[in-house]
Structure 1
């Protein structure tokens, strides 16, 4: 029996067969695509592996020029102590008008007893080196190592130059009483500032290391300080202050005489009052040994008519600063003079007291100042 020819049934096996063929083709194509893709990837990978690695060439080495080293620091200039120039000449000016043509500043020592000395030699001249050094019985006109600064005061005028009533007094008594009150107060304290506040003074300073003023006119004091036009030679005082160093330790005492006043203080203690009138210008009392020596009398030196007065013993230590204060005064006017010596307790041989070594020119000056000086200058 034949199947009816039906449009719906017609071609069914044919379409199923076509559908299976189409699916198969799609699968085959897909497989081929994947295979071809894999082959392509594998080829690329093989090419990548077989391709040689790129070579990296380092850039050429450039020679770098080193920067110049920093400049060295400037050399340190060490200031060496300047050697002290030597003055060429010494102009001597004193009451005898001694002329000294040249000066030889050496290192000779002032021996005290058994070779002991004071000071450390000459130092730099104050204010620079001069071609000439003026020297008087009151000191040099320039500071040197070991010298004491000296100032001339006028008890007749105040610090502004106005005269006190005592300036017109002519009698000796009132002048002595007036000066005694001033100097006694000063001797208790040695307060130089009080002098500065109360009295006129010389504008010029002198610098003493030894003190030998033979008996002469009182005019020598203001003249030495170049103040003869401003300061009359009465009721005046010169005060020296400073320090020195002993070269050796020992026990010493000062001796001297002053017309009218000579007071000396060492390290703050009054150790000598060799004034013309005892117990007038200070309350100093000599030690028993000094009193015995003074009672026994003594020689008279440098033209002064009274004997030498010995002071108290004091100790000096080598290399240690020793403070010295000296007051020399002329009260009524007229005659004037003072000197200061030193002796050691072992030999009791007086020599000129000096706060620095005596040079050859110092020795010559002293010998020409007065004949008595020669016996007190060490060999």
Structure 2
């Protein structure tokens, strides 16, 4: 087996894919379609080609700078060395000093992509950290811009939320992972991470036992729990009606937040009447499948476009409204680094207009004494604090808690949350 020739073929395939990829769909879906149509690529081929492409995009705008100095195949070598520590380009080896033993020891010290990026910079001095994430002026205040840039060099783990609220035992889940020899880290009483591309569905019952959900997304529970506990107090005092709590997930997507809030309500012994809406019929089909696996019944789902003028196509007010608004997704770019290349900063105004239209329509159905949770997976102030400020100035609601959640230290995804209540 001629390994160098195989790698060269992989780089040729990666180059062709880069030419044909138009950024109109996520890279993982694009690759899934390509590999489905080209069965000649075995599992190892698919894995290496995928690493080449993701490594390329993880360099952000630096990749264009690098390609001005080296051919694409060399740029792929360098990006894969930085992000995956795969191979060591011969010309980079020259940067090490001393004999072969010293060079090997020096290389072993480069345990993080940041270290390897710094080494490459000594040869290609035009590479810059700010080009990893070139939109730093727009970032929410208080976020570490350097950390945001460097995290893009890292491949993100898969995070699992164990549904302990429904009686699933953490020990039972970890025992299954140990039996399957799957490496994992337990990050909290409900959160586990496993390496990317782990076939978790082979070992665990997805949605019934665990939900695949980034740790920062899981930590939105702090906002939900605050609202649910206050609503529970209202119930005890007779101020929230006698029936189940009415909760509306107004940008539900495939239902991860709905499952979370339902589980939290279950833990508090609060009966819930859940409504889930989204603009996309297909995504609500996915929600239906997930809810079935999660044993969630008695809910209502409906296709609703909250940006359209006119009244909502249903009646009634809600105790809690969860609005995970469509956004740039910049908090998830470590998982989807290809989006850095296609993103235009001026599009933030379009997102802002859409987000304010959505919250304006949604908050109209919040009852007095109810709670409104605004969320994004963005790191941009325009989509976060500025929308929250708009809500504060125009909704008649009171802000209770607002912050950017960056997940656990091992996580590479950020989310923003702002919890409001409508005073009686």
- Alignment TM class, shorter chain as reference: under 0.3
Q: TM-score, normalised by structure 2?
A: 0.18
Q: Which has the higher helix share?
A: 2
| Higher RCO, 1 vs 2 (CA within 8 Å, ≥6 residues apart) | 1
Q: Which has more radius of gyration?
A: 1
Q: TM-score, normalised by structure 1?
A: 0.20
